[in-house]
Amino acid sequence: MSACCAVIGNPVAHSRSPDLHHGFAQTCGIPLHYEKILAEEDDFAHVVQAFFASGGRGLNITVPFKQRAAELADHCSEEVRLSGAANTLWHNEQQQLCADNTDGRGLVNALTAHGVTLSGQRILLIGAGGAAQGVYHPLLASGPAVLDIANRTPEKAEAIIANQGGDGRAFGLDEHVDEPYDLIINATSSGLDDSALKVPANCLAPGHSVCYDMVYGTTTPFMRWAEEQQAAAIYDGYSMLIEQARLSFSQWFGVLPPVQSYNDRG
């Protein structure tokens, strides 16, 4: 009998998770049925409960339910505790609900797979919403020399550092930085609606800094800016999408699927 997994969100029609997980399952020889579940705002807890009651193996959680997924869980990983958000749920042998957030480790793994060094580097994270909160601590744990956060609303950047640790600087997008960064990660949602993004002046060293946008499937304003500024390399979030999915799959099935091509955008 096939294992049953699903992604829950609203909206969810755009999700690439079924394709990715069916690919992993095929590679690993695991029979899998993976579906998309569109849940209403008020119905999330009930949908999760019903999914596991009917024998479901694992869930991915996407917008806008990641925080509620963390609140529902009986056991949370350190990443979930620190970020307050979960993207992966499953039941343990005692039928307790377990939660992980694989976004941050997925980003770190994706950058490493691209050959980008994190340890000892100067890293700037732009954005301080849910996406930034989910990746901040794994980035910090990778041992950068500096991990600063710039956000349109600097207080939200300050809150991440206060809540999750680190001794980086939090500042606004209007600021001029003294020393460029080796790696600049865009965790704002500006790429989703193609809205203009102001980037702190002097943060990029032409021919040296690497830029990563966590949004995938489109050339974002941040990526266009990075191109104009002659960044050494520019990546979109497709590799992070794959890596976070691999880690979710391994939570459900105990096996980390082999890496597929990051260029295969189907």
**How would DSSP label each residue in 105-156?**
HHHHHHHHHTT---TT-EEEEE--SHHHHHHHHHHHHT--SEEEEE-SSHHH
Taking a C-beta distance cutoff of 8 angstroms, is the pair 68, 51 a contact? Answer: no
**Is residue 66 among the annotated active site residues?**
yes
Q: How many residues bind ligand ATR (CB under 6 A)?
A: 16
Read off φ and ψ for residue 33, nearest 5 degrees.
Answer: -115, 115
Among 2, 92, 153, 202, binds ligand ATR (CB under 6 A): 153
Q: Which of 36, 66, 156, 198 is catalytic?
A: 66
Residues 12, 14, 15, 18, CA torsion sign = positive
- In this complex, which beta carbon is closest to ligand ATR, that of residue 84 or of residue 180? 84
Nearer Cβ to ligand ATR (32/70)? 70
Name which of 8 and 25 has its Cβ closer to ligand ATR: 8
E strand spans, the chain: 3-9, 32-38, 58-61, 75-76, 88-91, 97-100, 122-126, 146-150, 170-171, 183-186, 210-213, 233-235
CB of residue 248 to ligand ATR, shortest distance in Å: 18
CB of 245 to ligand ATR, least distance (A): 18
Rank residues 13 and 196 by Cβ distance to ligand ATR and give the closer one: 196
What are the beta bridge partners of residue 97? 91
Bridge-based pairing state of the strands 88-91 and 58-61: antiparallel
Q: Does 166 bind ligand ATR (CB under 6 A)?
A: no
Report the residue from 22, 33, 81, 152 that binds ligand ATR according to the rule CB under 6 A. 152
Site residues (CB under 6 A) for ligand ATR, limited to 183-202 = 188-190, 195-197
Cβ-based nearer residue to ligand ATR, 27 or 218: 218
Smallest gap from Cβ 194 to ligand ATR, in A, equals: 9
Q: Which of residues 73-132 bind ligand ATR (CB under 6 A)?
A: 127-132
Distances (CA, A) of 44 to 21, 72, 83: 22, 10, 20
Binding-site ranges for ligand ATR (CB under 6 A) = 127-132, 151-153, 156, 188-190, 195-197
Catalytic center residues: 66
